[in-house]
Amino acid sequence: MRRHRTTARGILLSLLLAGLAAAALASPSASGGERAVPKLVFPLVAKTLWWDNFGDPRPNGRHDGIDVEAHWRAPVVAVEAGKVEYADSSLGGCMLYLYGRSGTTYLYIHLNNDLTARNDNKGRCVSGVAFAVPNGERVAAGQQIAWNGDSGDADGNPHLHFEVHPSGGAAVNPFPHLTRAGRPLFAAKPGSPFSLGLRGKLISAGAGSVTLAVERVRHYPGGRWLEIDARTVELTVAAEASIPAELMGDVANAARRTIRTPVPVAVFTVKARATAEAIVGAASALRAGRVSPLR
């Protein structure tokens, strides 16, 4: 694990040196010029608040990332497939480097350091507290790698400071990359078994599918209900699906219809293996096994 006891600019310098070395090892073509940053997976599964604060003046120098406000211990995910490395700093707290397959280095700062539901600051920058995968692990895009927190000088203000360094070089503004990133509906390693609980409002149904305006999600096995940024998700309906007739009618055979007054429901998906498409909630990538009205 790296330990930085420096200013924000010192952290950046360490990142640049390490990132350049890692990029040279992981990506032989990177030395031929800056490689393009690929389309990313958004780094959090959570309800978020963020804006373009890259380059803002800060007490320790220019702000080299984007701050994304989110709930404490929200799942933090890999934006690209690559390799992770732990780090820590008095300012950044628990941090993680992701050396992307494209040659881009990403930095995640202010990860969780609490052992209880209170802001106790008693945890260390270790797996199970700050990080969700072992140090040095190779991870897939959309896989959980950490938990959001308020370590370092973010104490009491949980958020993720996220940086993008193409080819391991100088920081670029993450804002356009985050704006067009695919939003993960849940965090998972592709190929792992999963099912989901989705809470929101049913807005259309028919022709073998349902569309839900999702507000909360739960990942099974384990997991807890998480509030997320509201979004629509289209699911196919399994032949064996349990759906109250008065709620849906003949979904399989009826023409698709928009529901005039959206109905609050809970939808539970059929057990499946995670795919990149399912993780971002792509149309028809998930199958509804049960739809229940919420009273």
User: In terms of residue numbers, what domain contains 36?
Assistant: 2-179
Verify that 153 and 39 share a domain, yes or no.
Answer: yes
**Of 57-61, 74-78, 275-279, 287-291, which range is least confident?**
57-61
**pLDDT tens digits, 106-151:** 999 999 999 998 999 999 999 999 999 999 999 999 999 999 999 9
Terminal CA-to-CA distance of the chain, rounded, Å?
A: 49
In the chain, the percentage of residues whose pLDDT exceeds 90 is 66
**pLDDT tens digits, 3-19:** 654 334 444 444 444 44
CATH number of the domain at 96, please: 2.70.70.10
In the chain, the percentage of residues whose pLDDT exceeds 70 is 83
Q: Within a domain: residue 185?
A: no
Q: Within a domain: residue 186?
A: no
Verify that 265 and 288 share a domain, yes or no.
Answer: yes
> What total number of domains does the chain contain?
2
Q: Within a domain: residue 41?
A: yes
pLDDT range class, residue 227, cuts 50, 70, 90: very high
pLDDT of residue 249: 57
Contact 267, 218 (CB under 8 A): no
